[in-house]
Amino acid sequence: MTKAPFTVVRREDLDPICPHCTQPLTEVYYKAKGAGWFVLPPRNVVYFCPHCRKVLGMGQSKMA
Ligand SMILES: [Zn+2]
């Protein structure tokens, strides 16, 4: 593990902003699809904005 070159500050009073619609993200939606998701292999998770529904990121299970 390398040491992070910046200070990490926990700010529960601030909400992240969606980079697409600039709405505050008080919550993030995600969709986990196994069979039926034709592009991604199973166990992949897609996170998306509840306001504009654009994809914020994808998570991959390290267990796969
Ligand atoms: Zn958005």
Structure tokens at 1: 């593990």
Radius of gyration for the chain, computed over Cα atoms and rounded to the nearest angstrom: 15
Distance from residue 28's CA to the centre of ligand 1 (Å) = 10
Neighbours of 33 (CB within 10 A): 15
Calculate how far, in angstroms, residue 43's C-alpha sits from the geometric centre of ligand 1: 24
Give 11 Cα–ligand 1 centroid separation in angstroms.
20
Residues of the chain with pLDDT under 70: 1-2, 4, 33-43, 61-64
Distance (Å) from CA 18 to ligand 1 centroid: 5
CB 18 within 8 A of CB 25: yes
d(Cα 11, Cα 16) in Å, to the nearest integer? 10
What separation in Å is there between the alpha carbon of 2 and the centre of ligand 1?
32
pTM of this structure: 0.63
- The pLDDT of residue 64: 46
